[in-house]
Structure 1
Amino acid sequence: MVSPAAQTGTVSDTEVPVLIVGGGPVGLTARALLGRWGVRSLLVEKYRELSPFPRSRLLNVRSMEIFRQLGIAGRVAAAAFAPEYARVRFRETLGAEDFASAPMLGVHAPVPESPALGAVTSQDRLEPILLGAADTRVRFGAELVDLAEETDHVVASLVDDGTERKVRARYVIAADGANSTVREWLGIDTLGPGAVGSFTTVVFNADLRFENEPGGAYFTTHGSFTPIYPEGGWAWFGPTPAEPRHADWRELVTRALGPGIELPIDVLRVQHWVMNAFVASRFAAGRVLLAGDAVHAIPPIGGLGMNVGLADVHNLCWKLAGVLHGWAGPGLLDSYQAERLPVARETLELAVANSQLVRRVQQQRVERPEAPVEVPWTRRYFAQLGLVLGAAYESDAVLPDGSVAPSAADPVTDYLPTARPGHRLPHQWLAEGRSTLDILGEWFTLLTADLDCWRGRVGGAAPLRVTELTVEQASHYELGPGGAVLVRPDGYVAARWPDAPAGDALRSAISVVTSGAGDQVAVADLTGR
């Protein structure tokens, strides 16, 4: 590929283990996670500052568990709305009464399945916190114009103030959004509906107060409203008019407010955007790995898009760290696509269905304004714990133990905790305010009620910590005397031994999981059965 900046001056190479392209929540979270692993990275963002636009707003419990691990969950929650705002309301206009309402499960109130509570917060409040979560380099105003992969690294060309700079990186994480330049350069196809509509967001100030009927989102027949910050500010979004250059945005928002609200409207910003719906056919090409909207553009209805992107890099970064630090083989990176691509497809299917349902309800209200509107799906709409906490992985980075996955009546809504390999470790309280998820970190974790049984088995290059459970706590993971569960750094169970295995099972399991060659080893050799 020929760089369009070929006529500019060139600065000598910079070398870095990981180059991150894109300074949104996914790229910033990847930077923070790699920093925790001691991996140097350089994040580049073509814009000169963080986005001032509110954009994504919902953080589910899984994302807040990740932020809890990074030590920033408290700061995120402090900048967010109070939990009672985690409710969606349906109205004909903003000033009308609800004709339907539903809480956001795991955000509106705590759930026993997680030590964390989700949050409603604007992206422009989240990003500065993520930026401060690591001290590795960030270069704003640097646009990626070329990528070239060589034998053991990637050469990236960046243009910054008219000067072309070369960066040599062992790996690249592309988190450059739904219109990803990197994805296009790599020739990666996308599957799904594609562009499903053009929309406009209007950010405005008005003295709107709904303390008695708080909500994180108000869906009306004239567009949707969201409060932006706890101290004030609002956004309206809806389909872009046929001639947006001549639109009277103040009049449009006033009409959507309805006759019950007569307030001056101060329009601050207007942004046009395309709602995309797709999943990429591949999540990686050589040494370039893609994450977030670059590989899955999820419609915003249901608040799933940013969250699935955060889970992407939580899955990816420990694997990159293992390869770069030398205790994992490059084959481990193949498990990233194997594990996250199915989740992205399921998430997209749900978000598209939710978008269609919202439009159907709004249309019913327009066509029959006096008739009651039944929305039996509103509980399912935000009851997504099965998808959020119950997503299961099948890859070479997971060693099956022969158990059968629990069967939920609805895998989207119903989360059935299980310590079966390939599932997120179920949360248990170990002590006041301390969860089993809190003992996980930049290491593999072995949980057992019998330390003596496992003390002599610990070893190997990969970082590992052993934590003792009570017999009762171990029973929740279906562990008998001498049994143990091995948990990956991303909180997913890598292997489980219900009882004490024979031989060097632990060291063998970690070696297989980190080599990315799980299909080459018989499960019986590792479980001792």
Structure 2
Amino acid sequence: MPVAHTEVAVLIVGAGPVGLTARALLERWGVRVLLVEKHGGLSPFPRARLVNMRSMEIYRQLGLAAEITGNAFPPEYGRVRFRDTLHDRDFATAAMVGVNAPVPESPVIGVVTSQDRLEPTLLAAADAHVRFGVELIGLTEEADSLVASLVDHQRGGKTSVRARYVLAADGANSTVRQLLGIDTTGPGAMGGFTTILFDADLNRWCARQPAGVYFTAHGLFAPLYPERGWAWSLPTPEDATHADWPELLSRALGQSGDVRADALRVEHWVMNAFVAERFRHGRILLAGDAAHAIPIIGGLGMNAGIADVHNLCWKLAGVLHGWAEPSLLDTYEAERQPVAHQTLREAVANTRLMLQVQDRRREQRRMSDVTPADVELPWSDRYFAQLGLVLGVTYRSHAVLTDAPPEPSETATDYVPTAEPGRRMPHLWLTSDRSTLDAFGEWFTLLAPDPTYWAQRTPAPWPLRVEALPGEHTDLCGLRPGGALLIRPDGHIGARWRDRPPSDATLRHALIAMTCPTQSPSPTGSR
């Protein structure tokens, strides 16, 4: 007798921010989703601390930015500070660009918030079913689907789900990646760490000099929530089982016994640094830490995973709804894997900068009888100035039409807005309170100085909207009055026509070329 399976279009494995964001995005596209998470609920640990500008742009698109900002720290916490102990004065400090204050390149700013404060907002953002305490233990490939074998740790017993696609967002120790035998490249495990959650009134030391992160010689301190709570992270001691955490915490705080610090929870974890050799295996796709584990210094890892699924979900929707070929999914790895490698390099560089600061401080104290107040920063004002990496990513794949030579790689720190195909569409104001970024959603967007001409040539079956581009923006976008930009649902520019194209079929041919590479006619005038 055949076994009955639950059937869904996409099975998401992992209920962290990446899996939850994918669930919300796919639901917007009308895709039937099931999310399974092996743990009994959302993580109680703060973990990731920074939601950067690009992620906030995505959450603005989902209508979540205001709630996330309301639960986060105010902008003045968008700063890192270096101290000998937490109660000492700063000997160095730097702002997190795009978090501590608005920048003209985006309609939003990033926020400092704890992952356990973010995840409930993401969980509530969609209605698609979530099953906690359910672990994936096997995958079987069939002709047009996959069958996932699951264990329900809460109710007991085994079950299965048939899905057209599986999106693995199950972390650095991904079961899915291990089942597929996908190797990784990079440093790998960089050491064991321990995070102590504790409660203490530290306002006298920190209220006048707020920060999202305080680096000290005894580890990293971070405020958890605007109302209360702290986290302390440090390399795991050799005999962690017998560690006297209250004594170690007291020493790291530098207190004189007049501050009570109550350790509430202890978590041991491994800092990983790698990129998966493949992001796709047939109908299975890796995202977030399952695809790339990024060291925490710089707050890049979670945000890279959010960008992964923003890139991927519109492609999955296109394939499932029939206006894109499965080969479009190949562009996910082609576009996101190079970004993962660049992100890993930047995180390693950030870690080295942090260590340089602490090394200089130790040398400074060793050479001076009087403790100096400041340390010369090895980065000037460049630390956490990551706009080039956050906003300046360039995609190159079949889903981008351009005859331009590849641009030189933009540095992680520098960002120059441009409307070159492959780049994120620059933020420009369409009206006094509506950005170009607000024009994007579950559709392609055509931005044109003369929208009437292009609206008459809107082809089916692709979801497409035509928007007027104000004349003052045409020069920055490299357009003449008859030109247009074709923006993908993820906000990246898929094609550009500087002026009116020679054929009425140009737009149709471009959409075929971007979404159905194996049957593409040669698009004309896309540049």
Residue 18 (structure 2) aligned to one of 26, 29, 34: 26
Q: Is 2:33–2:129's contact at 8 Å kept on the other side of the alignment? A: yes
Match of 1:54 in 2: 46
Question: Which secondary structure state, in structure 2, belongs to the residue aligned with residue 172 of structure 1?
Answer: strand
In the other structure, the counterpart of 2:431 is 431
Distance 2:240 2:338 in 1: 38
- Provide, for residues 285-319 of structure 1, a one-character-per-residue CA deviation record: whole Å limited to 9, x for no partner: 01000000001000000000000000000000000
Q: Deviations over 1:196-231 (max 9, x none)?
A: 111000000001112210000000011110000000
Confirm whether residue 189 of structure 1 aligns to residue 183 of structure 2. yes
Counterpart-to-counterpart distance in 2, 1:147 and 1:332: 23
Q: 2:368 — aligned with what?
A: none
Query: How far is 1:469 from its partner?
Result: 1.7
Identity of aligned residues (%): 62
Which residue does the alignment assign to 1:199? 193
Alpha-carbon distance between aligned partners in 2 of 1:274 and 1:169, rounded to the nearest angstrom: 32
**Segment of structure 1 superposing worse, 375-384 or 208-217:** 375-384
Letter in 2 for 1:375: L
2: CA distance, partners of 1:151 / 1:297: 32
CA 1:404–1:197: 2 relative to 1, 3 Å? closer
Give the structure-2-normalised TM-score. 0.95
Q: How does 1:148-159 map to 2 (within 5 A)?
A: 148-159=140-151
Measured after TM superposition, the shift of residue 172 of structure 1 is 0.2
Q: After the TM superposition, which residues 47-196 of structure 1 pair with which residues of structure 2 at under 5 Å, given as runs?
A: 47-160=39-152, 161-196=155-190
Cα displacement (A) at 1:475: 2.6
1:488 equivalent in alignment to 2:485: no
Tell which deviates more after alignment, 349-358 or 312-321.
349-358
SS of structure 1 residue aligned to 2:249: helix
Q: Residues 110 and 260 of structure 1: is their aligned pair in 2 closer, same or farther, counting only changes over 3 Å?
A: farther
Is 2:169–2:290's contact at 8 Å kept on the other side of the alignment? Answer: yes
What is residue 45 of structure 1 aligned with on the other side? Answer: 37
Secondary structure of 1:98's counterpart equals coil
Tell me the CA shift for residue 401 of structure 1: 4.3
Within 1, Cα distance between the matches of 2:195 and 2:385?
A: 26
The amino acid across from 2:173 in the alignment is: N
**CA–CA distance in 2 between the matches of 1:163 and 1:96?**
55
Q: 1:481 to 1:23 in 2, by over 3 A?
A: same
Report which stretch shifted further, 310-319 or 247-256: 247-256
> Within 5 Å, which residues of 2 pair with 1:298-447?
298-369=294-365, 370=371, 373-377=375-379, 379-402=381-404, 405=407, 411-447=411-447
* C-alpha displacement of 1:434: 1.0
* C-alpha distance in 1 between matches for 2:526 and 2:345: 40
Q: CA deviation at 1:373?
A: 2.7
2:423 and 2:162 map into 1 onto residues whose CA distance is: 36
Cα shift at 1:162? 2.4
CA deviation profile, 1:152-203 (whole Å, cap 9, x unmatched): 0000011113211110000000000000011011010100000011100000
Mapped pair 1:225 → 2:195:
no
Q: How far 1:34 moved relative to its partner?
A: 0.1
Change (3 A) 1:526 1:455: same
Partner of 1:5: none
Task: Give 1:457's aligned residue.
Answer: 457
Question: How big is the shift at 1:361?
Answer: 2.1
Cα pair 1:202 1:271 within 8 Å, conserved: yes
Ranges in structure 1 where 5+ consecutive residues have no aligned partner: 1-9
Distance 1:356 1:445 in 2: 41
1:240-279 to structure 2, matched below 5 A, reads 240-259=236-255, 262-279=258-275
Q: Give the SS at the match of 2:524.
A: helix
Deviation of 1:381 (Å): 2.0
Measured on the aligned residues, the alpha-carbon RMSD in Å equals 1.6
Native 8 Å contact 1:16 1:41 kept in 2: yes
CA offsets 1:361-389 (integer angstroms, 9 cap, x no match): 22332343246532231632200000110
Taking the aligned partners of 1:27 and 1:296, their CA distance within structure 2 comes to 14
2:430 partner SS: strand
> Which of 107-116 and 252-261 deviates more?
252-261
Q: 1: distance between equivalents of 2:433 and 2:253?
A: 43
Count, aligned residues: 515
Contact map agreement 2:150 2:159 (CA 8 A) in 1: yes
- Alignment-derived partner of residue 501 in structure 2: 501
CA distance in 2, matches of 1:381, 1:58: 15
**How big is the shift at 1:452?**
3.1
- CA offset at residue 432 of structure 1? 2.3
- Work out the CA distance in 2 between the residues paired with 1:315 and 1:198: 32
Which string of whole-angstrom CA distances, capped at 9 and with x for unpartnered residues, describes residues 466-500 of structure 1?
Answer: 01122222332111020000000000000000000
**What is residue 211 of structure 1 aligned with on the other side?**
207
Deviations 1:414-454 (A, max 9, x none): 10111110000000011222101001100000000112322
SS in 1 for 2:381: helix
**Structure 2 segments unaligned to the other structure (5+ residues):** 366-370
- Cα drift, residue 265 of structure 1: 1.0
Distance in 1 separating the partners of 2:470 and 2:253: 57
Residue deviations 1:74-112 (CA, integer Å, cap 9, x gap): 000000000001100001111111111011110100010
Normalising by structure 1, we get a TM-score of: 0.95
* Residues in 1 aligned to 2:526 and 2:412: alpha-carbon distance in whole angstroms: 35
**Alpha-carbon distance between aligned partners in 2 of 1:287 and 1:249, rounded to the nearest angstrom:** 46
- Which structure 1 residue ranges, 4+ long, deviate > 6 Å from structure 2? none
Deviation at 1:39, TM superposition (A): 0.4
Q: Which range moves more in the overlay, 249-258 or 340-349?
A: 249-258
CA distance 1:528–1:195, change in 2 (3 Å)? closer
What SS does the aligned partner of 1:480 have?
A: coil
Against the structure 1 CA distance between its residues 11 and 107, is the aligned structure 2 distance closer, same or farther, given a 3 Å change threshold?
A: farther
Is contact 1:401-1:527 (8 Å) kept?
A: no
Q: Which moved more, 1:251-260 or 1:386-395?
A: 251-260
